[in-house]
Structure formats: structure tokens, C-alpha cells
Structure 1
Amino acid sequence: MAEPKQLFLNLFEMACVSHITHGLWPLPENNRHRFAELSYWTELAQILEHGGFDGIFLADVIGAYDVFRGGPETALREGLQSPNLDPLLLIPAMAAVTERLHFGVTFSTTYEPPFAFARRMSTLDHLTKGRVGWNVVTSYLPNAAHNFGLAGEVPHDLRYEYADEYLDVLYKLWEGSWDDGAVIDDRENAIFTDPAKVRYINHVGERHRVSGPHIVHPSPQRTPVIFQATGSPAGIEFAGRHAEVVFTGGRTSEEFRKAADGMRSAAARHGREADDVKFIAMAGVIVGRTDEEAADKHRLYQQHTSLDGILAHHSLPVDLTAFPRDITVREALLRAEVLPSAVPFLPLDKTVGQALDFIGGSRDDRFLAVGTPKTVADAIEKWLDEDGLDGINLRQYHSFDTARDFAELVVPELRKRGRLPEAGGAPTTLRQRLFGAGDRLPERHTAARYRGGANLDNPVESLRLSAGNVASF
């Protein structure tokens, strides 16, 4: 009999007050206001490690939500992902108080140069002993483009073209610039690094010119685990080339399976295997010792959910709350002089009231479980076995009650069913935990073509400093 499929369990986080559960931060004993305290993150990390979580997945944005109502005021009042700290800086603190907790962190390929980011990620991979992954995003907020000197957003598919070159540079640095064994730490001869095993990459592309060599020696994973959140055709093709874990979803089981099958097919087109890509979805789990206790928590969260926060998060270019609830969305858009193409997700022939109710309840989607530990575990097993999920990013309604409830009530039930590892396992790299096939990317991944210095643009065999390029002091 086959072993039951195990769940990869992340807590979904962001270094802000209101991440994805808008309006809930003022609830009694919620710690969201402490997001800028280091102790918040170290306490949370220890709850997760001791509670049986595999990791913490850190979201990020690099702009304000300033489309709704024509400015950032609503988002600022709501604490909607602003203020927002840099998530990369939180990881060392959490790694220092844990041994097995893994970290997924979000960073955009569109605006900042790749060389400095390669250094930061290699540093994190060293400091965490290989427990880190990178969630590749291309950034979509108009304000993000303005913050980096652009007049407007880079078109969606062009952002993915930029991202392809960005990752190509990173792979050259992470996989091709240094050989294993370059660091020899020879005290007797006072040689730390063998220069013959380090090389320039000399990348010259459409957007980037990077000489190298990489400034950090090979880390446990070299390339961090590549996460990606997508569902678009360009994103799916990108995932087929690069992604190891895809953060996706769907309103139905059929939608999710269709998206996953599309990404597996894309992976096959790029010489990879279907199982080289795993899938996680955001999931809401509200658990109680009784059904009544869980239902009470669910009602509390629904009652305090902020519709304004959700509308601002959607960057809705029309304020539907300003119109009568009984007119159609089409009529409201006509009055607001907003084209339907600007809001393709809105049901034009529904009333404004129906649309607002739908948007307000959109988080109660396919991957939601409310009830006792047994009820919740049954749902999670269905997600794993019938939908084909490999893991979840657990939505936080309350910090730290959501994580504590799951750890205390759901984890023991999942362990009893063989769906989570037993407590106290040996630490592993993130890639080993996910795939069980070692710390490094498999040879069939596109990044591997640069190993040993192969396929670099104008490769230089070793570092040879001549008198002409040594700085004078």
C-alpha cells in the first residue's frame, strides 16, 4: 500500500498590519500591530517550528495601493500592506531561533539589478543552511513602476521576458561562477580560494551586463528553491522553464487541476519531468474543538472583515460603494465613465449589491475548511488526493491564534494520518524537504547548463589579475 501523500505546510505572512485578512488586525489579542518588532518574528518562528509547520512564506509589494478612490488613503487607513518592511531582512532572525523551519521570500525581477540580489540570496542560503526559497514575481502595482522611475507599468508579458534574462544572470552566478571545492581554506599555504575554480560570467543581454564573478561562494542549495505565483499563459510558460513550486488556485477543483496540468505540460516542453513542479494554494483553516466553536470564529472574522480593504486590495478603479445597491454593475460603470474592460472580473449584469457581496466573500473559496480537527483534516486530505495539491499557504486570520490553533489541533490529526512528518526530524534544506532528491537543482533544470562554467557568454577560465587592472593604492 502506498504511503499517504504528505502536506507541505506554510504559514502565509507579510511584514505589515493587514496582509490578506483586511479589518481583522484590531481584534482582541491580535499581534499584527507588532509587525515591526523583531520579537514578533522570532516568537512566530518558534511557534511554527515547534508546531510542526514546514515553513513561512513571506509576501511583498514595492508600491502602494493607490488606484481605489484615486489615491492611497483607503489603503493607508486600513494598514493594507503599508507600512511594509523588507522581508529578506527578517529571515536571519527567524533562522537563528529555529533549526528546521524553511523560508520562502518574495522579490521582484523588474526593477532592481540581479547581481546584488544574487548576493543577498546566497547569503541567506548560507545563513539558513539551505532553508530558503525565492518567490519570483514581476510586480504589478502602478505605484511600484513610479517608485523606480517609470511612467507606468511594464506590460505583463514583457515583464516575463525581463524575468527570463534576470534568472539567466542569476543561474550563471549561482551555478556557473564558482566550482564546488573552490574554497579550500588552506591555512598552511594561506590560500582560502582556488582562483582556477572561479570565473567571470560576462553576461551581455538586452537589459543586463554583468561581468561577475559571483561574490559569494557556493551555498548549500546554490540556487534557492524557485517559487512562483501565476496563472497567465506567459506565467505558465515561465513556470515550465523555472519554477519548482507554483502558488496557484482556482474557484473549483477543475480550475485548479487545469492550471496544474498546463504547468506540468510546460515543464515537459522544457525537458523537465511532471513531478519537478509542486503546487501550493492559499487555504483558510478555522478550527475549533467543536463545530460550534469553529463556526463562532468564522462568524467573528466575517463580521469584522473590511470591504474597503478588499476593494483597495483589488485596485478597483471604480468605487462601487458610492452607487445604489440595486443598479447593475454595467450602469455603475457607465455613470463612473469606467470601461468594462478595466474590471474584467466584475459581473456586469449583476447588481452592485450582489457584486459587493461576491467580492466581500471571495476569500471563502474552494480551499476553506471550518470545523473540528477531524473535519479540517478530511478536507485537507481531499485537497491532497483529489485536487492534487502538494501544500498550502495557511491564511492568517489572527496572529498568533491561527498558527497556534492549527499546531495544537490539526497537526496531531494530520500526523496520525501520515500527512505530516513526525516531530523532531533532522534539519534539511528546503529542496530536500520538498523533493527528497538532494540539495541542488536536478541536471534537467535549465539552470544546470551553466555548471562547471559551461555555456557562459564569453567565459573566462579563471581570474587572472594583470598589472593593468589592479587598482593603485
Structure 2
Amino acid sequence: MELTKQIRLNAFNMNCVGHIHHGMWKHPRDNSVDYTKPEYWIELAQLLERGLFDAVFLADIIGVYDVLGDGIRVTAKEAVQLPVNDPSYVVPLMAHATKHLSFGITANLTYEHPYLFARRFATLDHLTNGRVGWNIVTGYLDSAARGVGLKQQIDHDDRYDRGDDFMDAFYKLLEGSWEDDAVRKDREGAVYADPAKIHRVNHDGPFYKIDNVYNLTEPSPQRTPVLFQAGASQRGNRFAGRHAECVFTGGPDRAALAKVVSSIRGQAVEAGRNRDDIKVFSGLTVITDRSEAVARDKLEEYKRYASAEGSLAHQVSGMGVDLELFGLDEEITEAKLEGLYPNRLQRVGEARGRRFPEGSTRRKLLEQRAFGAYQSAIVGTPSQVADEIQKLVEETDLDGFNVTRTVAPESYRDFIDLIIPELQERGLYKTAYEEGTLREKLFGAGARLPSNHHADRYRTWK
């Protein structure tokens, strides 16, 4: 199919040292160890805005990767998302240093309450002039559950049931409490807000209870932040069809990814929305230079610092499987896994519990992670990389990509200086920002959730 839409790009990052490509912090040109410094985030934001990136997509976890070797030996040594700081606090720093760059913030609703959570995101929406999105996750680490006093995670589908109830309460607070013209700021009449236009929120759901006037924030530019979601299971896709405006997904190849994208859009239609009401993103790692030979030399240089073991520690914690229980060359079979971890798939969910390829051994899995991640990279000249990006969008119907960092900030700078101009030359990427909030920029419509979204039913004052 001929590509007629412009590609969307987010910078995929995390408020920590090691994010996706583990071990890169050891590279002499990498500055990710400065993640605790304000200047790190300000300089990153200004770089990304120069490249016209739509947003910084900030991942997060609230547990630790402690399954491989039954502990954090690898995780701590290689900084595998440990330590990790709260992503929301760096957003005002970046927003103040930029005008257009937006921010997608990951937050786990399973361990939040909607009443206080709504205030936090409404405040961020105010402070960024409507440049905030929320990446909705329900969690996938037992260590996170133990950190808040549970023995293990709530079952996969039950987490999404809680999520639906959370979102209903969230919408009531942000969309249904204050009318659009409740704030009058009438100095002469001595009326800041009209009490008749502020409505009590009563939510009596199966998991969350609220009975109060929502007095914590007045309506922000978007009211509800742009809603991202990254679940890949069938239950997660149903959740996305009802709630999400942007979905982060993936697949082992283009054909599989195209099916996933089509399924997500189909879920939106089943929820009474349009197929294009959801923007679908996939992960993208790029290593580029002006010649293919130099780009490939750069990949080999990066590999010298990569941590395959760190990547494996990352993966197996989500799957709940300690592969050090297997010999280095012992085949990892489903029968052996089921013997070690009864009902594993049922508890962690089909997306996180996906099978290891037939014939897998720990040695082979480590070899596949020579670049410090399971995710491979597109390597080549700007023209070669742009060709691959264009084919991906044409063949899968993706809307855009979450661009990972390898060596920070070098990988983003290379992408901005080399790939962005090539995409622009092909008419596939914007040459200037549009005005408005994140939602307006993404969808070319209003700043608020549209009337066909599930949230609209809670605007009872209309």
C-alpha cells in the first residue's frame, strides 16, 4: 500500500541507567549514569524537540527483576532498570525547557487510587499546557506486588477488571465533576468558581469507591491525559479498544505485527469507535551513519559493551522463570517449565508467558542477546534505514515508533541528524510542529476526548 500518512515518533526512555539495551552505560560516550541530574533531562528534551519528536515515552516499573538466579546479582551489576526513579517528576523540567515536545508517562494503576491519581495527572497537564499522556499498565512483576504487601500479583485478567473500574472512576473525576465554565475568575463578583457547576462524584464500583466533590484541580487543557496502553494479551487488547488512544505493541515479524495492529483497530470498532481512533506504535532501534560500513562498525563497537545476561534477567522476570535452573545447554521445554512453575501461563497472562522457541537453551538465548536486548536493530545508511521504516509502516499499518536509546544521547542525535531529514525528504515526517495540546497534535481535532470515547458517558453535565 502507498504510504499517505506521516510517521509519528516517540523517544522511548526511562528514568534510570539501563532501559532496553543493557550494558550500554559502560560505553565511554554514554551519559545515562547522569539520569539523576536535571541537566540530563533538559538537554535530552531540547535535543528531541530539535528533531521534532512527538513525545518522550517514559517507561517505568515499581518492582525489580529478581527471578534470574533468584536474586538481583545481574540486575544490580548491570543496572537493569535498577535503580529507577519516578518518571513523572522529570516532566516539568523538560516541559519548561521546550514548547512542543510532549510526555507519555507510565504509571501502574493496580497500586494507585483514582482519586489522588487524577489530581497528579491533571496537575501535570496544567504545568505542560496539555502535553501529557498516561501509559496505562497493570503490572507484570511479582516483586512489585510484594513491595506493597501482597504475596504475588493479582491474576492477569483480574488486573484488567480492576483497570476498567479504575478508568470509570478516573473519567468521572476528570470529565464529569467540573463543568467547562465552572471557573469564572470573577474578581468584581468575588466568585472564582461557580459551586452550582461543580458536581459530586459518586462511584460505587467493584474495586473503587468515591463519594466526594472533586476539589483537587480545575479542568486542565486536555482534562484527561492522552491515553497510551501497552498490553499485548487478548484481554489487554479489549481494554485498549475501550480506553486507549495510542497503543505500544510488537510482533516477531511484519505479518504477525500487521495482524496485531488490525486486531487492535478492530477492538476499537467493537467499542463503538473508529479504526483510526487509535495510533499504534512499535519499538524501533536504529544504528546509522553516512556509510553502511561505518554503521556496522558502530554496531560491533556497541556490542563490546552489551550485557546479554542483563537482557535475559530483564526478560525472564516478566515470565517468572529462573533459567539458571537449566544447564547452559539444556533444552528449555514447556513440559519442564510446567513442572517447575505449575499454572505459569494462567497466572502471568498469555502475553508475558509466551513460549520459548523450540530448541531453546540458555546459551542460545544469551547469544541472541549479543546487543544487550532481544530486540534487533535496523543498521545502515539513512536511506537504507528510511527504506525499512517505510516498509514497516506500509506493510503493517503502524502509525509510528517508540525509538529506543542505545548509547545516550548519541543514538537520538544520530537519528535526528541523519534519519529525520531523509524521512522529511520523502514526505513521511513533519517539518514543523503544529500548535496545540498533545491530543490536538496527534489527531488533528480537539483537546478533549471525542464524543465516541467511553469517557463521554460520564460527562453528565453536558
Do the two structures share a fold, i.e. TM-score over 0.5?
A: yes
Counterpart position of 2:321: 317
Q: 2:325, 2:383 → 1: CA distance?
A: 40
The letter for the 2-side match of 1:428 is G
- Counterparts of 1:224-235 in structure 2 under 5 Å? 224-235=225-236
> How far apart are residue 204 of structure 1 and its match?
1.3
Q: 1:114–1:166: 8 Å Cα contact kept in structure 2?
A: yes
Q: After alignment, is 167-176 or 305-314 more displaced?
A: 305-314
1:390 aligns with 2:394: no
Contact (CA 8 Å) 1:41, 1:94: kept in 2 or not? yes
Q: Give the Cα separation in 2 of the matches to 1:171 and 1:227.
A: 15
Aligned to 1:401: 410
* Counterpart mapping for 1:115-126 below 5 A: 115-126=115-126
Q: Which residue of 2 aligns with 1:148?
A: 148
Partner SS for 2:56: strand
Q: How does 1:99-114 map to 2 (within 5 A)?
A: 99-114=99-114
* 1:370-381 matched pairs, under 5 angstroms: 370-381=379-390
Tell which structure's C-alpha radius of gyration is larger: 1
1:438 correspondence with 2:460: no
Distance 2:356 2:111 in 1: 30
Alignment partners' CA distance in 1, 2:424 and 2:4:
11
Give the secondary structure class of the aligned counterpart of 1:20: coil
Distance 1:348 1:362 in 2: 22
The verdict on how the C-alpha distance between 1:185 and 1:104 changes in structure 2, with shifts beyond 3 A counting, is same
The one-letter amino acid paired with 1:433 is K
Match of 1:354 among 350, 364, 373: 364
The one-letter code of the counterpart of 1:445 is: H
Q: 1:189 to 1:275 in 2, by over 3 A?
A: same
Distance in 2 (CA, whole Å) between partners of 1:307 and 1:362 is 5
User: Are 1:247 and 2:248 counterparts?
Assistant: yes
d(CA) in 2 for partners of 1:447, 1:190: 33
Q: What does the per-residue CA deviation read over 1:12-62, in whole Å, with 9 as the maximum and x for residues that have no partner? A: 010111011101111012101001111100010000011221110000001
1:40 is paired with a residue whose SS is helix
What are the equivalent positions in structure 2 for 1:82-231 lying under 5 Å apart? 82-214=82-214, 215-231=216-232
1:379 maps to a residue whose letter is: E
AA aligned opposite 1:398: V
Q: 1:347 to 1:362 in 2, by over 3 A?
A: farther
3-state SS in 2 of match to 1:42: helix
Letter paired with 2:255:
E
Give the whole-Å Cα distance in 2 for the aligned partners of 1:331 and 1:271.
39
User: What SS is found at the alignment partner of 2:228?
Assistant: strand
Q: Are 1:52 and 2:55 counterparts?
A: no
Q: 1:69, 1:317 within 8 Å by CA — same for their partners in 2?
A: no
With over 3 angstroms needed to count, the CA separation of the structure-2 counterparts of 1:345 and 1:358, relative to structure 1, is: farther
Which is worse superposed, 431-440 or 90-99?
431-440
Over residues 265-294 of structure 1, what are the superposed CA-to-partner deviations in whole Å (9 max), with x where a residue is unaligned? 211111111111110011011110111111
Partner of residue 295, structure 1:
296
Question: What is the CA–CA distance in structure 1 between the aligned matches of 2:265 and 2:333, rounded to whole Å?
Answer: 38
Unaligned runs of 5+ in 2: 345-352
Q: For 1:275, give the aligned amino acid.
A: D
- Structure 1: 5+ residue stretches without partners: 455-473
Give 2:355's aligned amino acid.
Answer: F
Residues 317, 430 of structure 1: alpha-carbon distance in 2 compared, 3 angstrom cutoff: same
Q: 1 CA distance for matches of 2:373 and 2:98?
A: 31
Instruction: Give, in angstroms, the shift of residue 450 of structure 1.
Output: 1.2
Residues 145 and 151 of structure 2 are in contact (CA less than 8 Å); yes or no, is this contact kept in structure 1?
A: yes
Structure 2 residue aligned with 1:328:
331
User: Alpha-carbon deviation of 1:421?
Assistant: 1.3
Seen in structure 2, the aligned counterparts of structure 1 residues 398 and 332 have a Cα distance that, compared at 3 Å, is farther
What is the match of residue 277 of structure 2? 276
Is contact 2:334-2:355 (8 Å) kept?
no
d(CA) in 2 for partners of 1:350 and 1:145? 30
**Do the aligned partners of 1:267 and 1:274 also contact (CA within 8 Å) in 2?**
yes
Instruction: Give the AA of the match of 1:25.
Output: W
CA distance in 2, matches of 1:101, 1:6: 17
In structure 1, what is the equivalent of residue 350 of structure 2?
none
**Distance in 2 between residues matched to 1:300 and 1:185, nearest whole Å:** 60
Give the counterpart of 2:423 among 366, 391, 414.
414
Deviations 1:171-215 (A, max 9, x none): 001110011011110010111001111111111112211123322
Distance 1:332 1:300, change over 3 A: farther
Structure 1 partner of 2:347:
none
Deviation at residue 339 of structure 1 after TM alignment: 4.8
Who is 1:466 aligned against?
Answer: none
Deviation digits for residues 286-335 of structure 1, max 9, x if unmatched?
1101111111111122332212101210126333497243x42349958x
The 8 Å contact of residues 46 and 97 in structure 2, kept in 1 or not, is answered as yes
Supply the distance in 2 between the matched residues of 1:223 and 1:344 (Cα, whole angstroms): 33
- Greater Cα offset, 371-380 or 339-348: 339-348
Aligned partners of 1:44 and 1:397: how far apart in 2? 14
Task: Give the 3 Å change call, closer, same or farther, for CA 25–174 of structure 1 in structure 2.
Answer: same
Instruction: Tell whether the 8 Å contact from 2:70 to 2:322 is kept in structure 1 after alignment.
Output: no
User: Is residue 21 of structure 1 aligned with residue 15 of structure 2?
Assistant: no
Change (3 A) 1:278 1:289: same
Q: 1:352 to 1:216 in 2, by over 3 A?
A: closer
Q: 1:402 to 1:361 in 2, by over 3 A?
A: closer
Residue in structure 2 matched with residue 469 of structure 1 by the alignment = none
Change in CA separation of 1:21 and 1:195 when aligned onto 2, cut-off 3 Å = same
Task: Tell me: CA distance 1:331–1:445, structure 2 relative to 1, closer, same or farther (3 Å).
Answer: closer
Tell me the secondary structure at the aligned position of residue 422 of structure 1. coil
SS in 2 for 1:453: coil
Q: Compute the displacement of 1:453 (Å).
A: 3.4
Is contact 1:177–1:201 with CA below 8 Å preserved after alignment? yes
What residue identity is the alignment partner of 1:319?
Answer: L
Q: What are the superposed Cα offsets for residues 146-171 of structure 1, whole Å, 9 maximum, x if unpaired? A: 11111111000000000000010110
Q: Tell me the secondary structure at the aligned position of residue 172 of structure 1.
A: helix
Find the residue that maps to 2:213 and give its secondary structure: coil
**How big is the shift at 1:360?**
4.9
CA distance in 2, matches of 1:48, 1:359: 28
Asked if the contact 2:241–2:264 (Cα under 8 Å) also holds between the matched residues in 1, the reply is yes
State the identity as a percent: 44
Report the Cα distance in structure 1 between the residues aligned to 2:328 and 2:306, rounded to whole angstroms: 21
SS in 2 for 1:10: strand
1:261 and 2:271 aligned: no
